[in-house]
Structure 1
Amino acid sequence: MIAAFAATLALGLASQPGTAAHVRAEHATWRYQYLTGGVNTGHGWSTWNPDGTFASRYVRESRDHGLTPVLTYYQLLQSHGAGDGLGEAAKDLANLKDNALMKAYYDDLALALRRAGEAAGGKTVVLHVEPDLWGYVEQRAGDPAQVPAAVASTGDPRLAGLPDTAAGFAQAIVRLRDAVAPKVRLGYHMSTWGTGVDPVQQNPSPGEVDRLAARGAAFYHALGARFDLVFSDPSDRDDGFDAKVNGDHGRSRWTTGDYRRDARWLADMHRATGRPLVMWQIPLGNSTLPNAWGRYRDTHVQRLLGHDPRWRRAYRDAGVIAFLFGGGADGTTTERTDGGVFKRLAARYSRARLRTK
């Protein structure tokens, strides 16, 4: 399966329906879109178009423009269940063991897989499953078999025999994919903070970075579920946004050492899991912006796509196959508000990559 993804760094953007041509004009070849809203709320993704066709339309539009679509399936937190009224981590974990909610969840997940698989037309489509949830599970217990989840206990015959644990939940995802849409690629989200120590922001030593990666990879293997790709996100907000809106006084701004630790952590993760890596939801800010709403500064675009190729090489050598850019909150920078920096650097990168083929 790994051979299906070329060992070259693809570029991608957050992209709503109807914007595939814009993504191509920005010199990107991947795009991503959230599937969210909750499985039992009456306004989840499956209601956005009749009978879940939102997913198939998105995949088809991507395919027609030569783009690889990523659907980020983020449904558990926004569903109604045992976790209502709790904070994010507690709500996710409480919902995960709610039998009625999870029975609806598996039906909803199967619909997303089926719609994506039907529309793919033999092309690659990725379902990126529940970012953040895995980090919350890992923080609750290093062994996912110790975290309760409703799986076989939902009575869903497709999941008979699977354990009622977070490990069983991961196995259920893979089992449903195999049954409903075997060509859809599954993305597992490796939260940098799942161990309780961030390998980048808390400035651990190289040896500690290696130990953190080993713990994260051991957690992944303990799930007993073979995903196809591993996702990681450096941050979902520009560091200027975090400084001005969240008041973190610049602590989120990445230094050269941060990039070095991140690449080391990802390389360790790649070696331990054997999975291709995707850096996802990378902020789009740059140094030319005024740190105002929609136009905040950040380092990632210029560092990863700038003149100096060593960082691209470091991430490529670490096993990264794609950089997917996009903000994770209203008011963060987009490629439409960044003064054209992403488009200019992406175009230059694209031209250079074509010359070296």
Structure 2
Amino acid sequence: MSKVQAQVTAAAPNDCANQANSVAGLAHCLIAMTRKYAPHAAVGMHLTCWDWQGNTQACAKDYAILGAQNADFLVADVSDRDAGWYAEPAHGSRDMFWTDQKAAAELGVWKTMAESVGKPVVLWQIPVGNMAQNNTLNHYQDDKVDWLFAHMDQVANAHIAGLLFGAGQQEL
């Protein structure tokens, strides 16, 4: 993160002159600008760990370099669509439903990230489908809402501070 170049000081010389010209410098600058221009606002950093199952510790290290400890919270998206949508052959026949094992793995990553930077996690883009849906347009099945509410002790233990629900990507 500190080696990936970004023209931070040239883009915002009045606010970011003391930041490195890197992705890490950009993240530090954005947090500093939030503190300066919106001192009463909370600022979060979105978690994007592509290899989260295999290398959570590397992701935690990257987020420390980015300055996540200076944000107020981390944000993680659960899914951009209901699991029933993904299960359709036209969408890859993927199994995106949560088993206890799958949910525990995701909660484990979020907990590790929260503890590594000392900030809570807000989950967003939690699919709003439920298992009573009929897997038609805008009525796909999903089990995440039920799972999360049935396991609030595990959710809290993972330092999840908020749950935000949304339909995600819409199909026309």
Q: TM-score scaled by structure 2? A: 0.91
What is the aligned partner in structure 1 of residue 160 from structure 2? Answer: 320
Secondary structure (helix, strand or coil) at the match of 1:230 reads strand
- What value does the CA root-mean-square deviation take over the aligned residues? 1.9
What is the aligned partner in structure 1 of residue 65 from structure 2? Answer: 222
Secondary structure (helix, strand or coil) at the match of 2:2 reads helix
The verdict on how the C-alpha distance between 1:331 and 1:245 changes in structure 2, with shifts beyond 3 A counting, is farther
> Residue 192 of structure 1 contacts residue 232 of structure 1 at CA under 8 Å; is this kept in 2?
no
In the alignment, the residues of structure 2 paired with residue 216 and residue 295 of structure 1 have an alpha-carbon distance, to the nearest angstrom, of: 35
> Residue 167 of structure 1 contacts residue 223 of structure 1 at CA under 8 Å; is this kept in 2?
yes
Secondary structure (helix, strand or coil) at the match of 2:35 reads helix
In the alignment, the residues of structure 1 paired with residue 12 and residue 113 of structure 2 have an alpha-carbon distance, to the nearest angstrom, of: 35
Structure 1, residues 120-168: CA drift from partner, whole Å, max 9, x if none?
Answer: xxxxxxxxxxxxxxxxxxxxxxxx1111112102253222121111011
The verdict on how the C-alpha distance between 1:284 and 1:155 changes in structure 2, with shifts beyond 3 A counting, is closer
Secondary structure (helix, strand or coil) at the match of 1:287 reads coil
> 2:24 aligned to 167, 188, 197, which one?
167
In the alignment, the residues of structure 1 paired with residue 44 and residue 90 of structure 2 have an alpha-carbon distance, to the nearest angstrom, of: 29
Alpha-carbon deviation of 1:248? 2.0
> 1:231 aligned to 70, 75, 85, which one?
75
| Structure 2 unmatched ranges of 5 or more | none
Relative contact order higher in (CA < 8 Å, ≥ 6 apart)? 2
Secondary structure (helix, strand or coil) at the match of 2:164 reads strand
> 1:248 aligned to 92, 96, 115, which one?
92
What is the aligned partner in structure 2 of residue 105 from structure 1? Answer: none
Alpha-carbon deviation of 1:292? 0.4
> Residue 97 of structure 2 contacts residue 144 of structure 2 at CA under 8 Å; is this kept in 1?
no
Over 6 Å off, 4+ runs? none
Alpha-carbon deviation of 1:269? 1.5
Alpha-carbon deviation of 1:173? 0.3
Alpha-carbon deviation of 1:312? 1.1
In the alignment, the residues of structure 1 paired with residue 19 and residue 119 of structure 2 have an alpha-carbon distance, to the nearest angstrom, of: 24
Identity %: 27
Structure 1 or 2, whichever has the larger Rg, is 1
In the alignment, the residues of structure 2 paired with residue 243 and residue 323 of structure 1 have an alpha-carbon distance, to the nearest angstrom, of: 24
> Residue 125 of structure 2 contacts residue 166 of structure 2 at CA under 8 Å; is this kept in 1?
yes
Alpha-carbon deviation of 1:245? 7.3
Secondary structure (helix, strand or coil) at the match of 1:185 reads coil
Does residue 101 of structure 2 align to residue 257 of structure 1? yes
Does residue 47 of structure 2 align to residue 190 of structure 1? yes
Give aligned pairs, total.
171
What is the aligned partner in structure 1 of residue 6 from structure 2? Answer: 149
Q: TM-score scaled by structure 1? A: 0.45
The verdict on how the C-alpha distance between 1:184 and 1:245 changes in structure 2, with shifts beyond 3 A counting, is farther
